[in-house]
Amino acid sequence: GENVEQHPSTLSVQEGDSAVIKCTYSDSASNYFPWYKQELGKGPQLIIDIRSNVGEKKDQRIAVTLNKTAKHFSLHITETQPEDSAVYFCAASNGFNKFYFGSGTKLNVKP
């Protein structure tokens, strides 16, 4: 089955700086890559996703890039704010609704 690895496990940045979280996957059949943000006491919430026919997608301060050849994808958050502090999960799917999640990155944005 698919194996998704996520790094780093924790990330601390100063407010206004950029944050980058990286994930790799093993199954070349995976074609959908969502990112989730989980705040304390809440369920994960979809923040952005990318499909395998696209190399990059941007939504305001967040962007995701995908390198199919290398089987890795990354989340970029620019101009970080304290409310960006949360745990972020990447995931991969081959289109059959079964998602494989990374282990999560705890992002701390220091004011």
List interacting residues with other proteins (CB under 8 A): 31-32, 34, 36, 41-46, 49, 51, 89, 93, 95, 97-99, 101-104
Place of tokens 């369920």: 43
Query: Cβ of residue 84: shortest distance to other proteins, in angstroms?
Result: 19
- Which tokens belong to 88? 């972020």
Beta strands at 32-38 and 86-93: parallel, antiparallel or unpaired: antiparallel
Give 5 or 15: the residue with its C-beta nearer to other proteins.
5
**What is the spatial distance between Cα 39 and Cα 83, in angstroms, rounded to a whole number?**
9
Distance of closest approach, residue 81 Cβ to other proteins, in angstroms: 23
31 or 65: whose CB is closer to other proteins? 31
Of the pair 44, 85, the CB lying nearest other proteins is at 44
**Closest CB 48 distance from other proteins, rounded Å:** 9
**Cα-based distances in Å from 100 to 1, 20, 71, 95, 108:** 9, 20, 14, 11, 24
